[in-house]
């Protein structure tokens, strides 16, 4: 059991990284990664919502949707769960850290439509090898992979701000080139497991 959990953790963080391998959550990856502090805030928010959403969605899928034979409502129900959780995170951030809330700006409500959260919830629920514990570990590890990727990318983008880059490559072009190189670097982990 412990080896299966460890395999899920390593695989979710490095090998099947939600951003760099599965290409889910690209919008916040590009949009919020200009500064390290906002990237960390977004990563932690996504981590909280992703883990909690997967837990709730797993229970809803296995206790309500599957027994009643209404699996076709899975995507709709999961989106409603995620939207509710994002509203809760937004309210909490507004009360606890208004500076982080204002720095995330438009990207905080976009967590609702972040395909990484919905994708991980669907992947966790639909994998026949995953029970409740494995689904939670998978979603939390995937969120750690999200945080790792967005923090590395944000730190690289901060360094690129002061780098002598040709004007035609400034901002978005160099960001995409850097993201591609980062994805290639993470491909080096593919033989690990």
How far apart, in whole angstroms, are the C-alpha atoms of residue 182 and residue 144? Answer: 16
17, 11, 49, 67 alpha-carbon torsion, rounded to 10° = 120
pLDDT confidence tier of residue 16, bands split at 50, 70 and 90: very high
Kindly indicate the confidence band of residue 190, based on its pLDDT and cuts at 50, 70 and 90.
confident
What is the Rg, in whole angstroms, of the alpha carbon atoms belonging to the chain?
17
pLDDT tens sequence across 150-179: 999 999 999 998 889 898 998 889 999 999
C-beta separation of 109 from 99 below 8 A: no
**CA-closest candidate to residue 47, choices 134, 129, 124, 120:** 120
List, for residues 51-60, the tens digit of each pLDDT value: 999 999 999 9
What is the separation of C-alpha 169 from the centre of its chain, rounded to a whole number of angstroms? Answer: 27
Q: What is the pTM of this model?
A: 0.89
| CB hemisphere CA count around 121 (13 angstroms) | 33
Q: For residue range 115-156, list pLDDT tens digits in order.
A: 899 999 999 999 999 999 999 999 999 999 999 999 999 999
Q: Where are the domains of the chain?
A: 2-188
């Amino acid at each position: 059991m412990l080896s299966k959990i460890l395999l899920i953790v390593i695989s979710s963080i490095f090998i099947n990284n939600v951003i760099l391998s599965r290409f889910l959550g690209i919008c916040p990856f590009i949009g919020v990664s200009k500064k390290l502090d906002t990237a960390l805030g977004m990563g932690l928010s996504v981590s909280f919502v992703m883990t909690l959403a997967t837990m709730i969605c797993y229970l809803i899928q296995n206790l309500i949707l599957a027994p009643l034979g209404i699996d076709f409502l899975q995507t709709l129900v999961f989106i409603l769960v995620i939207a509710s959780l994002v509203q809760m995170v937004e309210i909490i951030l507004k009360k606890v850290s208004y500076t982080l809330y204002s720095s995330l700006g438009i990207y905080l409500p976009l967590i609702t439509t972040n395909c990484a959260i919905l994708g991980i919830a669907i992947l966790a629920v639909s994998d026949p090898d995953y029970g409740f514990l494995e689904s939670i570990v998978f979603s939390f590890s995937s969120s750690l992979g999200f945080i790792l990727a967005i923090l590395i990318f944000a730190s690289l983008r901060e360094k690129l701000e002061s780098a002598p880059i040709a004007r035609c490559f400034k901002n978005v072009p160099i960001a995409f080139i850097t993201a591609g190189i980062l994805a290639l670097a993470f491909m080096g982990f593919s033989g690990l497991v």
